[in-house]
Amino acid sequence: MSEFLLPVDDDPLTQPFWEACARGELRMQRFTASGRYCWPPRPMDPVSRTLEYEWVPVSGLGTVWSVAIPHPPLLPAYTDLAPYNVVVVQLDEDPALRMVGNVVAAADAPLNSIDPHAVEIGQRVRAVFSPVGDMFLPRWVPVDT
């Protein structure tokens, strides 16, 4: 079977995020001095220029900000499942906290488990953690509203 791309899992900056995902928790980097969330993570707080931060649990609830539907040519693992949705989800905690993901039917369901054309901007979603290779990637399931 062809393989999906994965992020590095040995970067000290991002390791706590991936360890939390493996435990089924969505955590965000928050700088201590300013209280500002940052995504993607970075070494310095752009507000206070201090280095202290923690990875705090967030609700895992968000809203679809945008969606694209890739079609081939793609890498083989993705071609097998195309067309699928890729979303950007805006987290409830801060409107500038947006994460790239997919809306899927369940944590262990494939990328194309939902009709990509049924995914809409404004849709409410909740984080789930999908096993991919040796990691768990945050993905999103629809929330009934």
Residues that bind another protein (CB under 8 A): 3-9, 11, 14, 39-40, 46, 65-71, 74-75, 78, 81, 83-84, 86, 88, 95-102, 111, 116, 121, 132, 137, 139
**What are the Cα distances from residue 96, in Å, to 8, 39, 90, 122?**
24, 8, 7, 15
Residue 62 Cβ vs another protein, minimum distance, rounded to whole Å: 13
Write down the least CB distance from residue 52 to another protein, Å: 20
Nearest to 123 by CA among 93, 101, 90, 100: 90
Comparing CB distances to another protein, the nearer of 40 and 57 is: 40
**Dihedral of CA 60/21/12/88: which sign?**
negative
| Residue whose CB is less far from another protein, 51 or 100 | 100
